[in-house]
Structure 1
């Protein structure tokens, strides 16, 4: 009887701890850091990109959080010896407000996140300003979270459904060059893996 009572008590504590992670009034902290590098041997070019974006969210009701990410991104495409074009650099200030809904009980919960990623920055060739850039998008990303403790969530998600508008306004001109992209990226072979902290 004592074993049954202890097992039952432990199950209640685990269930309560899992529920408490996504209850109203809690805070979720996370973010992303990325670095990409590529080199095209025959074209004598290389590119690198760096980004950092911490995020914070608040549970306005049980299993529903709203928040934002604020960060910085940098991209550089450079020409090595023998190439025919100059270096291009892009630095951006990024903001990504989001709303996230969790479903499920226990240590595993599914979630859907709707975010609105935006970025504003400058494009340069060496030390010459080429113009200003802007990106606006919408993204619906599904995923699931595993809670090994009451304060840590390990997440696996895919980019999902997305739309993005990118534009550049050349220096000294009122005209903008813009492009639109839309897609569904549910590649299970290249998921996003992350860790969030719940307080």
Structure 2
């Protein structure tokens, strides 16, 4: 009888510990980090891509399994293409290497809301909604051409289904996949005569190609 009682108490304590991370009054802090690099060659052309992003966040559980918080993210990308082009010089043609490089910096800030659903003792599913405003800068550099720079302001919203694994009761490793996103941006080149350009987009579909990995600490 004592053995059975001890087992029941242990199971109850385990279940409480599994749920305690997402109880009302708890907090989470952490973020995500992504890095991508690629090199490709086609004929006389070479393509190089580098990108990384970091996104710290803080959330507070207003009720069981429901958290609201704030996201801040920074993204940097650099894409370079180099190819050989015949150029006329003094009546003859020579091979000239042309390089096109684009650098982009973007900073976003905005609120989020997420809701957890228990799967097992250590696994939880959650859906997260994000809304943010972003400020970006793009530099285009081409061989023998004056560089150009544009600045942009964007409004974004997205829904991301994710899974959280709790190796301990205070640490969660998260894996998310894009499902639905919307953006509305306005950009303008840093030239007095330049006009503003506007872009708007909506995307729906499970994105397994570009997952988001993050770690959060629950306390």
Q: Where on the TM-score scale, by shorter chain, does this alignment land: which range? A: 0.7 to 0.9
Give the match for residue 180 of structure 2: 161
Give the match for residue 24 of structure 1: 24
Bigger strand share: 2
Give the match for residue 121 of structure 1: 136
Q: 1:144 aligns with which of 163, 167, 173?
A: 163
| Distance across 1 between alignment mates of 2:78 and 2:211 | 25
User: TM (normalized to structure 1)?
Assistant: 0.86
| Distance across 2 between alignment mates of 1:182 and 1:27 | 32
Cα deviation, residue 190, structure 1: 6.0
Cα deviation, residue 182, structure 1: 1.9
Q: Deviations over 1:94-115 (max 9, x none)?
A: 2242101123375233211111
What is the RMSD computed on CA atoms of the aligned residues? 2.4
Work out whether 1:71 is the aligned partner of 2:73.
Answer: yes
Q: 1:62 aligns with which of 50, 55, 64?
A: 64
Give the match for residue 154 of structure 2: 135
The 1:72/1:188 distance shift into structure 2, 3 A limit, reads closer
| Distance across 2 between alignment mates of 1:4 and 1:109 | 28
Q: Name the SS for the 2:168 alignment partner.
A: coil
Give the match for residue 204 of structure 2: 184
Work out whether 1:99 is the aligned partner of 2:101.
Answer: no
Q: 2:54 aligns with which of 27, 52, 55?
A: 52
8 Å contact from structure 1 (residues 15, 106) kept in 2: no
Point out the structure with max Rg over C-alpha: 2
The 1:45/1:154 distance shift into structure 2, 3 A limit, reads closer
Point out the more displaced range, 129-138 or 48-57: 129-138
**Unpaired runs of at least 5, structure 1:** none
The 1:98/1:17 distance shift into structure 2, 3 A limit, reads same
Work out whether 1:198 is the aligned partner of 2:200.
Answer: no
Matched residues, number: 199
Shift >6 Å, 4+ stretches: none
**Unpaired runs of at least 5, structure 2:** 85-96
Matches of residues 32-51 of structure 1 in structure 2 within 5 Å? 32-42=32-42, 43-51=45-53
